[in-house]
Chain A
Amino acid sequence: MKTETKQTVTASGTGSSEKWLRMYRGMEMIRLFEEQVNELYTRAVMPGLAHLYIGEEAVAVGICDALHRDDYITSTHRGHGHCLAKGAATDRMFAELLGKEAGYCRGKGGSMHIADPASGNLGANAIVGGSAGIATGAAFSAKHRGTKQVAVCFFGEGALGQGLLYEVMNLARLWNLPVIYVCENNMYNEYTHFSETTAGEILARPAAFGIPAESVDGQDVRAVHAAASHMIEEARAGKGPSFLLCNTYRYHGHHVGDVSREYYRAKQEEVQWKAERDPIKVLSGWLLGEKIATQAQLDEIHSQAKSEIDAAVAFALQAPYPGTDQVGEDVYA
């Protein structure tokens, strides 16, 4: 669960140890959640498509930890990490992924459409770039209502191809809206390297609208958190939008079925990211080095997270499917 207020920290990480352990736990939760998704999908228990967030955990956790519970996010087809980091419960997440009535969307949305008003989650979106308008609209609304809430729009670098993003960035600057555009650059639009689809410098795009933009190491949760905290404060203080480019990597395929990846990225590249740039290892290395935590503490966090995930999976597996009488419900409010 999120606390209502958060302190800002510097990149050197002088925040309380509690906070870093919370983020460590957050990343562990997402990793273990996604490993279960992989398992459930491979065993054909989970229907549809599964896009795993493994490798990118520091982005969602570093940013969402700097948000209040009533701040807004929009998410993507690779959205489990964002939803969990913003405060979704693992049991209802799994239930939704399996199409069960107890899920966040009563089984109607599935993996790519988790939405949760209680944690400010406006919804994951299966249209690339499709939520840029929604996030910017939520920021507009927060400003209009004078609530001091902010909105974070998560999207992959593939969404840089969508014209909508540029229309709303222009509007967000013109109208000084409290929105942070978070571009998760995991380098691949499905099976195509982003350099083949993206002209010029990414940061020059928000800069063209006069939107402050920064690039961070998306594998370092402390760096992500520091940059995001600053942008969120600025947005809350009425200074308008920002753009955060997080350089990251997805360990698995575009979706679970994407197993032979040699034709678009080298095995060696995957091995290297996992070995050298793993967000959980980067944080645990720092926590241990700075003596903020002991290995025993981290192990304890891991096993607690594991039990929670196991219980959540068990809950979802035994939960009933919605009755077909519900199919016509919810079309209109």
Chain B
Amino acid sequence: MPEVAVRELTMAEAVREALSEEMRRDPTVFIMGEDVAEAGTPFKVLSGMVEEFGKTRVIDTPISEPGFTGIGVGAAMTGLRPVVDIMFGDFLTLVMDQLVNQAAKVHYMSGGAWKVPMVLRTTLGASRRSAAQHSQSLHAWLSHVPGLKVVLPSTPYDAKGLLKTAIRDDNPVIFFEDKMMFRMKGPVPVGDYTIPFGLADIKREGEDISIVATSSMVQVALGAATMLEEIGISAEVVDPRTTWPLDEKTLIESAKKTSRAIVLDEGYEKYGVTAEIASVIATGAFYDLDAPVKRIGAMHVPIPFSPPLEDATIPTEKMVFEAARAMCKRG
């Protein structure tokens, strides 16, 4: 980065700053969702925004997710840039038709005549003891649909830069925020910058094994890397940042360099994001791999409420550490 002031912001503050700067820059950008105005969302991510932008641009809706998401699609097709707020990622199930059959396909079906520059912000992640209908990580579903782009920031810095890119993109973009990360702090530059989609970021360099991790799992991977360092294993942590478009090149190069890869994601392991990424690495780095690519994701169960049960379903630093140690045949 050039010489700009950098301060520590939380993830929530970084998201808010990106939205506010974009709304100041572009009068067609507006926010729509449940309890986004005075309440500033239940996680207080949007606190203060209605005070600055007023109720015509920070709009509270009824609890009608398919309705206001559909309105977002139509508004995006006709000159506005909506940022639709779906309070919990679990409620994506309600808006799937609007996203999958409408937003994702309008551009293609119209032969490029119409476009849908809409962002849908929502959450992923368990660990809040919120049980099966408020804890899911459903980003794999959306990554599966041509026409949608899917963004998974893991730091405040990435959140701000990626959200700005999302708002300026002419396609429907689904932006997932980990509920457990809203209060996590990190350095964020003052003012404008964007991060291109499809560009992975090496969060930690290493030599012996690559850990590809998304969103909530990046911190888990970094924690595991620290543990591995103590037993002499040097782990590289790679964050794809967007599952679609996917930066295949960086993932493959990292695996070629280290010769081993673990793919870590909080969505379900079965048929999940880890499967696609592991396949990309297994194919692209085949001749350089010393071990089969290992996938670690959520257990194949609805997320349970009880703390010991919930903890058993989500990947931990220890699980990643053990898997890496076994792959590197140490200890």
Which residue from chain A places its CB closest to the CB of B131 in the assembled complex? Answer: A110
Q: A190-B34, A190-B35 are in contact. Are A327 and B299 (CB under 8 A)?
A: yes
| A127 interface residue per 8 A CB criterion | yes
Chain B residues near A160 (CB, 8 Å)?
A: 62
Determine whether the beta carbon of B63 is less than 8 Å from that of A161: yes
> Contact partner of B302 among A263, A322, A331, CB < 8 A?
A331
Q: A161-B62, A163-B66 are in contact. Are A127 and B301 (CB under 8 A)?
A: no
| A200 interface residue per 8 A CB criterion | no
Chain A residues near B34 (CB, 8 Å)?
A: 189-190, 192
Determine whether the beta carbon of A162 is less than 8 Å from that of B91: no
Q: How far is the CA of A49 from the CA of B37 in the complex (A)?
A: 22
Chain B residues near A189 (CB, 8 Å)?
A: 34-35, 62-63
A 84-114 to B, binary, CB cutoff 8 A, 1 in contact else 0: 0000000000000001100001011111110
| B6 interface residue per 8 A CB criterion | no
Determine whether the beta carbon of B62 is less than 8 Å from that of A110: no
Determine whether the beta carbon of B63 is less than 8 Å from that of A107: no
Chain B residues near A331 (CB, 8 Å)?
A: 300-302
Chain A residues near B279 (CB, 8 Å)?
A: none
Chain A residues near B129 (CB, 8 Å)?
A: 47-49, 99, 110
> Contact partner of A162 among B60, B64, B299, B306, CB < 8 A?
B64
Quote the shortest CB–CB distance from A195 to chain B (angstroms).
Answer: 11
| B307 interface residue per 8 A CB criterion | yes
Within residues 127 to 150 of chain B, which ones have a CB less than 8 A from any CB in chain A? 128-134
| B42 interface residue per 8 A CB criterion | yes
Most chain A CB within 10 A, of B67, B90, B134, is at B134
Interface residues on B, range: 35 or more
Determine whether the beta carbon of A126 is less than 8 Å from that of B312: no
Quote the shortest CB–CB distance from A124 to chain B (angstroms).
Answer: 10
| B269 interface residue per 8 A CB criterion | no
Chain A residues near B61 (CB, 8 Å)?
A: 161, 197
Number of A-B contacts defined by CB within 8 Å: 120
> Contact partner of A322 among B38, B133, B309, CB < 8 A?
B309
A 138-161 to B, binary, CB cutoff 8 A, 1 in contact else 0: 000000000000000000001111
Quote the shortest CB–CB distance from A83 to chain B (angstroms).
Answer: 15
Which residue from chain A places its CB closest to the CB of B133 in the assembled complex? Answer: A126
Determine whether the beta carbon of B130 is less than 8 Å from that of A326: no
Quote the shortest CB–CB distance from B272 to chain A (angstroms).
Answer: 16
Determine whether the beta carbon of A48 is less than 8 Å from that of B305: yes
Q: A108-B305, A327-B313 are in contact. Are A191 and B38 (CB under 8 A)?
A: yes
Determine whether the beta carbon of A321 is less than 8 Å from that of B307: yes
Q: Is the interface of A mostly helix, strand, loop or mixed?
A: loop
Which residue from chain B places its CB closest to the CB of A198 in the assembled complex? Answer: B62
| A264 interface residue per 8 A CB criterion | yes
> Contact partner of B64 among A49, A109, A163, CB < 8 A?
A163
B 272-309 to A, binary, CB cutoff 8 A, 1 in contact else 0: 00000000000000000000000000011110111111
Determine whether the beta carbon of A264 is less than 8 Å from that of B38: yes
| A196 interface residue per 8 A CB criterion | yes
| B75 interface residue per 8 A CB criterion | no
Q: How far is the CA of A129 from the CA of B129 in the complex (A)?
A: 21
Determine whether the beta carbon of B131 is less than 8 Å from that of A113: yes
Q: How far is the CA of A227 from the CA of B300 in the complex (A)?
A: 46
Determine whether the beta carbon of A126 is less than 8 Å from that of B63: no
> Contact partner of B39 among A107, A129, A191, CB < 8 A?
A191
Determine whether the beta carbon of A321 is less than 8 Å from that of B132: no
Quote the shortest CB–CB distance from B257 to chain A (angstroms).
Answer: 37
Determine whether the beta carbon of B305 is less than 8 Å from that of A109: yes
Chain B residues near A190 (CB, 8 Å)?
A: 34-35, 39, 42
Chain A residues near B91 (CB, 8 Å)?
A: 127
> Contact partner of B134 among A107, A126, A161, A321, CB < 8 A?
A126
Which residue from chain B places its CB closest to the CB of A160 in the assembled complex? Answer: B62
Determine whether the beta carbon of A110 is less than 8 Å from that of B299: no
Chain A residues near B312 (CB, 8 Å)?
A: 324, 327
| A293 interface residue per 8 A CB criterion | no
| A256 interface residue per 8 A CB criterion | no
Determine whether the beta carbon of B62 is less than 8 Å from that of A48: no
Quote the shortest CB–CB distance from A159 to chain B (angstroms).
Answer: 7
Determine whether the beta carbon of A322 is less than 8 Å from that of B300: no
Most chain A CB within 10 A, of B35, B130, B302, B306, is at B306
Contact surface of A with B, Cβ cutoff 8 Å:
47-49, 99-100, 105, 107-113, 125-130, 158-163, 189-192, 196-198, 263-264, 321-324, 326-328, 331
Nearest 10 pairs of A and B residues by beta carbon: A110-B305, A99-B306, A107-B306, A161-B62, A47-B129, A197-B62, A48-B129, A191-B39, A161-B63, A161-B64
17 contacts between A and B (CB under 8 A): A48-B305, A99-B306, A110-B131, A112-B134, A129-B63, A161-B61, A162-B63, A163-B64, A190-B42, A192-B34, A192-B37, A196-B60, A197-B61, A324-B309, A324-B312, A327-B313, A331-B302
Further pairs besides A125-B133, A161-B64, A190-B39: 11, Cβ < 8 Å? A99-B129, A109-B132, A126-B133, A127-B91, A189-B62, A192-B35, A192-B37, A192-B60, A263-B39, A321-B308, A324-B312
